Homo-oligomer: A and B are copies of this chain.
Amino acid sequence: MTRVLLLNPNTSADMTVRMLAAAEAVAAPGTVVVPLTAPRGVPYIATRAEAQIGGAVALEMLAQHHGAVDAAVVAAFGDPGLLGAREMFDIPVVGMAEAAMLAACMLGRRFALVTFARALGPWFEDCVAMHGLSGRCAGIRMLDGPVRRVGAVAEDSEDLLIDLARRAVEEDEADVVILAGAPLAGLARRVAGRIAVPVVDPISAALKMAEALVALQPRKATAGTFRRPSPKASTGLPDALADRIAHRDQP
């Protein structure tokens, strides 16, 4: 049995539920998806500052739960805390944005990100660059205007999002469309028939990538830039995180 932690660094439990359903829909037999919602932070991370905070919370969450799973997915498009988590913990950790983009790379030359709020653009663009994939990105398309109900934006704005996807294909020469952002989890499957190129659901992609990494059984680096940092004292951090930093969590 493979246990994959679906780590939602947002405090919205309803998004965790939505993502859990999309992940379970593609899980292999024998995979158990373990949902976890952030105990502190903001309801929906949407900017660089919120990602800085949410990424630190993700590390706290992993410090508490990493021992009980085989792999983890950071379930927020933008991948807050991903690289730090990959460095600090021994299990494979996959970012939702990362997984979606890498899957898209196998389906075409350039992917477009389509998302529901203009505020997300800069953070997502930084994320594409962080992964070294700017050359594979055809652009980012965002809905204009305020989002009334983040949790229901996939339903409220389905037609508008499909229209953005179409423009990404026709005007930006995207070969693949990624429907980006936790509130859009599961939408790809529903609208695939209405978009002329492959559409990637990030949380589904992340779950499959986590399964793939578990099957490949990569060892934890003890050299290179993702080896675990040396033990260190700390002040004022949550116990589990302080213990992980101090290497007190190892018998």
Assess whether B26 is in contact with A225, with CB atoms less than 8 Å apart.
Answer: no
Known contacts A107-B218, A221-B175, A222-B196; is-contact A42 B234 (Cβ 8 Å): yes
Question: Given the interface contacts A132-B135, A215-B208, A216-B200, does A39 sit within 8 Å of B92 by beta carbon?
Answer: no
Quick one: which of A187-215 are within 8 Å of B by CB?
189, 192-193, 196-201, 204-205, 208-209, 211-213, 215
Say whether B224 contacts A175, CB under 8 Å: yes
How far is A247 from B99 in the complex, measured between Cα atoms in Å? 34
A156 CB, min distance to chain B CBs, angstroms: 18
Smallest distance from the beta carbon of A30 to chain B beta carbons, Å? 7
Number of copies of this chain in the oligomer? 6
**Do the beta carbons of A219 and B237 come within 8 Å of each other?**
no
Mark A residues whose CB is within 8 Å of B. Answer: 11, 26, 28-30, 39-43, 46-53, 55-56, 59, 81, 83-88, 92, 94, 98-99, 102-103, 105-110, 119, 121-122, 126, 129-133, 135-136, 169-170, 173-176, 189, 192-193, 196-201, 204-205, 208-209, 211-213, 215-227, 229-230, 232-237, 241, 245
CA distance A32 to B1 in the complex (A): 20
Determine the chain B residues whose CB is within 8 A of the CB of A225 once the complex forms.
Answer: 108-110, 121-122, 173, 175
Partner of A226, one of B28, B109, B220: B109
User: Inside 8 A of A176's CB, which chain B residues have their CB?
Assistant: 218, 224
CA distance A50 to B56 in the complex (A): 9
User: Which chain B residue has the least Cβ–Cβ distance from A172?
Assistant: B224
Q: In chain B, what residue has the closest Cβ to A55?
A: B52
CA distance A223 to B94 in the complex (A): 30
- B residues less than 8 Å from A102 (CB atoms): 102, 105-106
Distance, CA A190 to CA B207, complexed state (A) = 27
Task: Determine if A175 and B226 form an interchain contact, defined as CB atoms under 8 angstroms apart.
Answer: yes
> Smallest CB–CB gap between A96 and chain B, Å?
12
| A107 and chain B: residue at smallest CB distance | B218
Which residues of chain B have C-beta atoms less than 8 A from A40's C-beta?
Answer: 234-237
Cβ A47 vs Cβ B216 within 8 A: no
> Which B residue sits closest to A232, measured CB to CB?
B42
Supplied contacts A42-B232, A83-B109, A173-B225, 6 more A-B pairs, CB within 8 Å? A41-B235, A56-B56, A105-B131, A175-B225, A176-B224, A198-B218
CB neighbours of A99 from chain B (8 A): 106
Interface centre among A30, A105, A132, A205 (most CB of B within 10 A): A132
